[in-house]
Amino acid sequence: MNRPSSNWRLFVVTALAGACLLGAASAHAQDLSDYSLEDLLTAESTSVAKRRQRVNDSPAAVTIITQEDILRSGAQSIPDLLRLVPGVEVGQIDSASTAVSVRGFSTRFANNLLVMIDGRSLYVSGLSGVLWDQQLVPLSDIERIEVVRGPGATLWGSNAVNGVINIITKDSIQTQGWQANAFISGDARNATLRYGGSGERLSYRAYVTARDLDGLTKADGQPWSSGSSAIQAGFRLDAVPNDRDTVTLQGDVQHGNFVADLLQTPPRVQQPDYYPFNGNFTGANVLARWSRQWSDQREFSLQAYYDLVRRRELGVDVTRALQDVDASLRLGSDRQELVLGLNYRRTTDSFESSDSFVSFSLPRQTTQWISGFVQEDVWLMPERLRLSIGTKAEYNTISGFALQPSIRLLARPSDAITLWAAASRAVRTPARFEQSVNVDLGMPAGSSMNPLPINMLARVQGQPSLSAERLDAFEIGARGSLGSALTYDIAAYYNRYHNLIGYEATGQSMSYSPAPVMILDYRSANIGWGRTLGLEASLTFSPLPGLRLQGTGSLQDLSFKTKDDTSISHAVAGLSPKFQSGLRASYDIGPDLEVDAWLRHVGALSSSDIPAYDDLDLRINYAVLPRLNLSLIGQNLLTERRIEFAQQLYPSPRSYVSRSVALRVSLDF
Could you give the angle at the alpha carbon of 86 between the alpha carbons of 80 and 92, nearest 5°? 30
- At 142, is the pLDDT very low, low, confident or very high (cuts 50, 70, 90)? very high
Please report the pLDDT score of residue 508 as a whole number. Answer: 86
- List the one residue out of 459, 342, 366 whose CA is nearest residue 125: 366
**Per the domain annotation, does 146 fall within a domain?**
yes
Give yes or no for residue 329 having a pLDDT over 90. Answer: yes
**Per the domain annotation, does 307 fall within a domain?**
yes
Please report the pLDDT score of residue 275 as a whole number. Answer: 67
What span, in angstroms and rounded, lies between the C-alpha atoms of 395 and 342? 12
Instruction: Please check whether residue 130 is in contact with residue 283, taking contact to mean a CB–CB distance below 8 angstroms.
Output: no
**Per the domain annotation, does 159 fall within a domain?**
yes
Global pTM reads: 0.89
Please report the pLDDT score of residue 471 as a whole number. Answer: 94
Give yes or no for residue 395 having a pLDDT over 50. Answer: yes
Please report the pLDDT score of residue 266 as a whole number. Answer: 54
Across the range 626-631, mean pLDDT stands at 92
Across the range 229-242, mean pLDDT stands at 96
| CA torsion through residues 505, 510, 511, 516, sign | positive
What's the structural domain count of the chain?
1
Across the range 268-295, mean pLDDT stands at 81
Better-predicted residue by pLDDT, 325 or 266: 325
**pLDDT by residue (tens digit) across 145-158?**
999 999 998 888 88
What span, in angstroms and rounded, lies between the C-alpha atoms of 82 and 94? 17
Please report the pLDDT score of residue 111 as a whole number. Answer: 81
State which residues form the domain around 563.
7-668
- List the one residue out of 665, 39, 57 whose CA is nearest residue 408: 57
Q: What is the CATH number of the domain that holds 512?
A: 2.40.170.20
**Per the domain annotation, does 55 fall within a domain?**
yes
- List the one residue out of 340, 345, 311 whose CA is nearest residue 327: 340
Q: 3-class SS at 78?
A: helix
**pLDDT by residue (tens digit) across 9-64?**
433 333 333 433 333 333 334 455 555 555 555 566 676 666 677 778 889 999 99
Please report the pLDDT score of residue 518 as a whole number. Answer: 87
Across the range 642-656, mean pLDDT stands at 78
Query: If you count DSSP H runs as helices and E runs as strands, how many of each does the chain have, helices first?
Result: 6, 36
- List the one residue out of 386, 390, 393 whose CA is nearest residue 407: 390
Please report the pLDDT score of residue 510 as a whole number. Answer: 86
* Residues 226-261 as b or e (16 or more Cβ within 10 Å = b): bbbbbbbbbebbbbeeeeeebbbebbbebbbbbbbb
- At 79, is the pLDDT very low, low, confident or very high (cuts 50, 70, 90)? very high
- List the one residue out of 170, 156, 194 whose CA is nearest residue 66: 170
What span, in angstroms and rounded, lies between the C-alpha atoms of 185 and 181? 14
Please report the pLDDT score of residue 535 as a whole number. Answer: 97
**Per the domain annotation, does 398 fall within a domain?**
yes
- Give whichever of 45-59, 116-130, 302-316, 347-361 has the largest mean pLDDT: 302-316
**Per the domain annotation, does 206 fall within a domain?**
yes
**Per the domain annotation, does 84 fall within a domain?**
yes
**Per the domain annotation, does 2 fall within a domain?**
no
Please report the pLDDT score of residue 127 as a whole number. Answer: 76
Across the range 325-354, mean pLDDT stands at 90
Return the number of other C-beta atoms located less than 10 Å from residue 186's C-beta. 11
Please report the pLDDT score of residue 239 as a whole number. Answer: 96
Q: Calculate what percentage of the chain has a pLDDT beyond 70.
A: 87
What span, in angstroms and rounded, lies between the C-alpha atoms of 196 and 615? 38
Q: List the end-to-end C-alpha distance of the chain, in Å, as a whole number.
A: 39
- At 273, is the pLDDT very low, low, confident or very high (cuts 50, 70, 90)? low
- At 140, is the pLDDT very low, low, confident or very high (cuts 50, 70, 90)? very high
Better-predicted residue by pLDDT, 150 or 2: 150
- Inter-residue long-range contacts of 633-640, CB under 8 Å, 24+ positions, other chains counted: 633/74, 633/185, 633/661, 633/662, 633/663, 633/664, 634/659, 634/660, 634/661, 634/662, 635/74, 635/185, 635/659, 635/660, 635/661, 635/662, 636/660, 638/614, 639/613, 639/614, 639/615, 640/221
